[in-house]
A and B are shown apart, each in its own frame.
Chain A
Amino acid sequence: MLNIKNLHVNVGGSEIIKGLDLEVGAGELHAIMGPNGSGKSTLGYALVGRDGYEVSEGSVDFEGRNLLDLDIEERAAAGLFLALQYPVEIPGVNNAYFLRAALNAQRKARGEEEVDSMSFLKNVREQLKALKMDEALLKRSVNEGFSGGEKKRNEILQMAVLQPKLAILDETDSGLDIDALKLVAEGVNRLRNENRSFIVITHYQRLLDYLEPDRVHVLSDGRIVESGDRSLAQRLEREGYAFLEAAEA
């Protein structure tokens, strides 16, 4: 599904990603861990095409298309979704209104029929219930005045409604209590199937206890320096990143 080769990304004139290779197959869930400043969020932003994240070298193939040729919204319509570490507050823009506009913009771009208001609301209400979110959040402005946990769950709600092919979760577990973490993990697990893939960026093993990743990668100084199965995350939890430095030495 996703094939990244020798990716280099500059931000503000500094190279943050320095030759990254990653292959994610359909239906797989990959976890990316790594110390602060290693380039995890930069990878997410570069994949969705945020301005200021300049790809200077390398290629990104997404289902046979050159992802780097696409605008931000074209990547979204192609099936890419980034759950932000710090979801943005948008005063005045009604949450449900925005979500339906986004869904229909994607569907229109794909040549699909737009979703009518009734079917949309029925679907959203089901997703809200599963995420134990208050329906009143739909009528409020996007993320405005939401608690940290509500913002993260709102990202998962958007993901559930937009049904991306590849979702990148950037520290979606940060700032969540145990109950909220479980709800978010359940939300992700409900969406998992043989055609949908995930890249989960996290600092902690605890989210991976619920998600059971197929692969775990360690990003350090802009490169993937170690990959393995779930046991790699468990080892990082026990030993920290020091063992990698020891191995490099």
Chain B
Amino acid sequence: MSALIEKLIPESLPDEPGEFGPLRRKALKVLMQHGFPHRKVENWKYTPLGLLESRAFENATGPSEAPWPELPALPFEASVLHLHDGLLDPARCRLPAGVTLEALAPADVDLSGMDDGSPADAFAWLNLARLQQGWRICVDDHARLERPLLLMLTCGEDFDRVAHPRLKLELGVGAEATLIEWQQGQGSGLINSVLDIELGASSRLLHLIDRHSEETALIERTTVNVNAESSYSGFILDGGGRLTRQDLNVNLNAANAHGAVCGVAVLDGRSLVDYHTAFEHRVGPSTSSEDFRILADDQSVGVFNGRIHILPGADDSHSEMNTGNMLLSRGARINTKPELEIHAEEVTASHGATIGQIDDEARFYLRSRGLSDAQAISLLKFGFAAAAFDSLEPGPPGQWLTDQLKERLSW
């Protein structure tokens, strides 16, 4: 993968010193020593990194000169943080009382989950090595945000560079918030982002993701640290793109921590998503659940690797994982793998995986009641996909995500 090193770490880029200097140098050292993952690295074998080698990225690091796009309308009020081409302009942020935004400091960077002995975490190291902007968003203790925080991520048609946004969201003790990550890609650049989420004791975060990367390559690593009595619920709708890679690690660090991830990927054309999720039960009792569904049409490729790891001492933990997959054409491919690793006592853990197609009997049944064939197929796809969102709490953001799913499936 030396070609990728040349492509993504060009010599012509200056090594910006500053307070992040030592971290950058460490990151570069790891990258130079281990390089980028190749097909023989198990967790990266389905991610077509060759696409990045074939692209010519511009070296510019400053803000794009093109005007920022208007934000698409949401059917409810939200506090907006807009990143365009991977950069955030703080002057454009509208944050409510109880929420602060400040530049990330080196002390805010947690390296504990980063593997420095192999290429597995190369893109997270790259993010650090080439960090342009890092932001820390803090929600005060006991703040209950009425409006969701909208993290709007856009890329213009002319976006042809590599951006490395890095964000850290911290919820204080007893805080409650909804974070919506809404991403729309266009240009042929690469967004290599890192999002760290720290949930204080007894806090609750509802995290909705709606993503359609299109031509923009996206590699994102999200790490969620869930502390005592706190809860993380992630709901994902991903329309994929030429290369969409998401690592989502949820660490259950204290007693009665809860994590849930429910995702739907709706793929067509030549789009690809590659999701790697992991729940780390570090302390018991803690609970986790996951339901991830992929619908793949045309020549698209869907990858899901879900891991539940119950560590020694995390006794009385409970976990369940389900992955359902629907192949809609002969040319589509889905690779799905649930993994369980249990080292504790008195735990319950279950996992299941299914791959199927549109059920002809159900299709006939719907048509016999008056729906057209196209409507029947759309409804069956919607029914299959929407089941992943069954636990989505009622309210405008949840309804919005469900409506986005309906739109994707033409229902």
Minimal Cβ-Cβ distance residue in B for A77: B370
Inter-chain CA distance A213–B344, complex, in Å, is 67
**Which among A51, A72, A91 has the highest number of chain B CB atoms within 10 Å?**
A72
B369/A76 in contact, CB under 8 A: yes
Encoded as 1 (CB less than 8 Å from any B CB) or 0, chain A from 63 to 83 comes to 000000001110111000110
List which A73-118 residues lie within 8 A (CB) of chain B.
Answer: 73, 75-77, 81-82, 84, 87-94, 98-99, 101-103, 105-106, 109
Chain B residue numbers with a CB within 8 Å of A73 are 367-368, 370-373
Q: Give the contact stretch, choosing among B62-70, B221-229, B379-387.
A: B379-387
Which of B359, B364, B370, B386 contacts A162 (CB under 8 A)? B370
B362/A88 in contact, CB under 8 A: yes
Chain A residue numbers with a CB within 8 Å of B361 are 88
Chain A residue numbers with a CB within 8 Å of B366 are 90, 98, 102
Chain B residue numbers with a CB within 8 Å of A75 are 368
Q: Separation in Å of the A166 CB from the closest CB of chain B?
A: 13
In the complex, whether A158 has a CB less than 8 A from a CB of chain B is yes
Chain A residue numbers with a CB within 8 Å of B371 are 73, 101-102, 105
Which of B364, B369, B386 contacts A92 (CB under 8 A)? B386
B383/A92 in contact, CB under 8 A: yes
Minimal Cβ-Cβ distance residue in B for A80: B368
B370/A90 in contact, CB under 8 A: no
Interface residues on B, range: 20 to 34
Q: Separation in Å of the B377 CB from the closest CB of chain A?
A: 12
**Which among A71, A77, A94, A98 has the highest number of chain B CB atoms within 10 Å?**
A98
Chain B residue numbers with a CB within 8 Å of A103 are 370
Q: Separation in Å of the A67 CB from the closest CB of chain B?
A: 13
In the complex, whether A50 has a CB less than 8 A from a CB of chain B is yes
In the complex, whether A48 has a CB less than 8 A from a CB of chain B is yes
B368/A76 in contact, CB under 8 A: yes
Chain B residue numbers with a CB within 8 Å of A93 are 379-380, 382-383
Inter-chain CA distance A84–B386, complex, in Å, is 26
Minimal Cβ-Cβ distance residue in B for A104: B370
Which of A87, A99, A105 contacts B375 (CB under 8 A)? A105
In the complex, whether A141 has a CB less than 8 A from a CB of chain B is yes
Inter-chain CA distance A102–B375, complex, in Å, is 10
List which B92-143 residues lie within 8 A (CB) of chain A.
Answer: none
Chain A residue numbers with a CB within 8 Å of B367 are 71-73, 76
A101/B379 in contact, CB under 8 A: yes
Encoded as 1 (CB less than 8 Å from any B CB) or 0, chain A from 155 to 191 comes to 0001000100000000000000000000000000000
Chain A residue numbers with a CB within 8 Å of B42 are none
Number of A-B contacts (CB under 8 A): 78
Minimal Cβ-Cβ distance residue in A for B376: A73
In the complex, whether B360 has a CB less than 8 A from a CB of chain A is yes
B368/A72 in contact, CB under 8 A: yes
**Which among A94, A101, A106 has the highest number of chain B CB atoms within 10 Å?**
A101
Minimal Cβ-Cβ distance residue in A for B411: A101
B368/A101 in contact, CB under 8 A: no
Inter-chain CA distance A101–B376, complex, in Å, is 10
Inter-chain CA distance A105–B366, complex, in Å, is 11
Which of A50, A71, A92, A105 contacts B387 (CB under 8 A)? A92
A92/B370 in contact, CB under 8 A: no
Chain B residue numbers with a CB within 8 Å of A141 are 383, 387
Supposing A51-B360, A90-B362, A90-B365 touch, asked if A98 and B379 sit within 8 A by C-beta, the answer is yes
B369/A90 in contact, CB under 8 A: no
Q: Separation in Å of the A136 CB from the closest CB of chain B?
A: 15
B365/A84 in contact, CB under 8 A: yes
**Which among B367, B368, B370, B384 has the highest number of chain A CB atoms within 10 Å?**
B370
Encoded as 1 (CB less than 8 Å from any A CB) or 0, chain B from 344 to 366 comes to 00000000000000011110111
Inter-chain CA distance A167–B210, complex, in Å, is 44
Chain B residue numbers with a CB within 8 Å of A48 are 368
Inter-chain CA distance A71–B366, complex, in Å, is 13
B364/A90 in contact, CB under 8 A: no
A106/B370 in contact, CB under 8 A: yes
Minimal Cβ-Cβ distance residue in B for A108: B370
Inter-chain CA distance A81–B387, complex, in Å, is 28
Inter-chain CA distance A82–B382, complex, in Å, is 24
Chain B residue numbers with a CB within 8 Å of A106 are 369-370
Inter-chain CA distance A90–B364, complex, in Å, is 11
Chain B residue numbers with a CB within 8 Å of A72 are 364, 367-368
Inter-chain CA distance A88–B379, complex, in Å, is 14
Chain B residue numbers with a CB within 8 Å of A84 are 365
A158/B365 in contact, CB under 8 A: no
A88/B382 in contact, CB under 8 A: no
Inter-chain CA distance A132–B299, complex, in Å, is 48
B372/A90 in contact, CB under 8 A: no
Chain A residue numbers with a CB within 8 Å of B383 are 90-94, 141
Q: Separation in Å of the B361 CB from the closest CB of chain A?
A: 5
Minimal Cβ-Cβ distance residue in B for A99: B369
Minimal Cβ-Cβ distance residue in A for B388: A92
A90/B380 in contact, CB under 8 A: yes
Chain B residue numbers with a CB within 8 Å of A109 are 370
Q: Separation in Å of the A220 CB from the closest CB of chain B?
A: 26
B384/A105 in contact, CB under 8 A: no
B370/A82 in contact, CB under 8 A: no
Inter-chain CA distance A109–B370, complex, in Å, is 9
Inter-chain CA distance A93–B386, complex, in Å, is 8
A76/B370 in contact, CB under 8 A: yes
Q: Separation in Å of the B355 CB from the closest CB of chain A?
A: 15
B365/A92 in contact, CB under 8 A: no
Inter-chain CA distance A98–B362, complex, in Å, is 12
Which 4 pairs between the two chains have the least Cβ-Cβ distance?
A: A92-B383, A93-B383, A106-B370, A102-B369
7 A-B contacts (beta carbon < 8 Å): A89-B362, A90-B383, A101-B375, A102-B370, A106-B370, A158-B369, A162-B369
Q: In the complex, given contacts A73-B370, A90-B366, what are 6 additional A-B residue pairs having Cβ atoms less than 8 angstroms apart?
A: A73-B371, A88-B361, A93-B379, A93-B382, A101-B375, A105-B370
